[in-house]
Structure 1
Amino acid sequence: MTMDDYMKLSYHLDLVEDPDEGGYVAFYPELPGCITCGETIERAVENAKEAKRVWLEVAMEEGIAIVQSN
């Protein structure tokens, strides 16, 4: 699969409010360690898309198995 193929897959994105630091934490449970944050929900979602791309790039380069979500 190509990067574009993986980016089109629908990975579940969790958003959690961070009461200690403020803002929101965003992570993809199917992509271990793929986590980011943002001051607003919108910014956290934008950051999560970039984090997903970087996570997938590294996984592809390192030969890490990537879950193919629907």
Structure 2
Amino acid sequence: MSRYVVLVERSEDGFGAWCPDLPGCVAVGDTVPETIEEMRGAIRFHLDGLREEGLPVPAPSTVASSEVEAA
């Protein structure tokens, strides 16, 4: 099973998430946990669509890093 990096950002209405390795695959939610769960479903849906169309599924290539403090 592949593991894709998901970035979550605060928005005016809650939170939004996107996956750098899967352009166009996004999700929104009221909380971070809800947004991540919605993103899991969005990634499954996105990958299923690629497979159904006979398109290649991109391998994860984005590397996750820890948060960095900027002074």
TM-score bracket for the superposition, by shorter chain length: 0.7 to 0.9
Q: Which residue of 1 aligns with 2:60?
A: 69
Shift of 1:39: 0.4
CA distance in 2, matches of 1:10, 1:57: 15
What TM-score do you get using the length of structure 1 for normalisation? 0.80
CA RMSD of aligned residues (A): 1.2
TM-score (norm 2): 0.79
Whether 1:11 aligns to 2:29 is no
- 1:40 paired residue number: 31
Q: Which runs of 5+ in 2 are unaligned?
A: 62-71
Q: Which has the larger radius of gyration?
A: 2
The runs of 4+ residues in structure 1 deviating greater than 6 Å are none
- CA deviation after TM superposition for structure 1 residue 17, in Å: 0.6
How many pairs does the alignment contain?
Answer: 61
Q: Provide structure 1 residue ranges, at least 5 long, that are not aligned to the other structure.
A: 1-7
For residue 11 of structure 1, what is the amino acid of its counterpart? Answer: Y
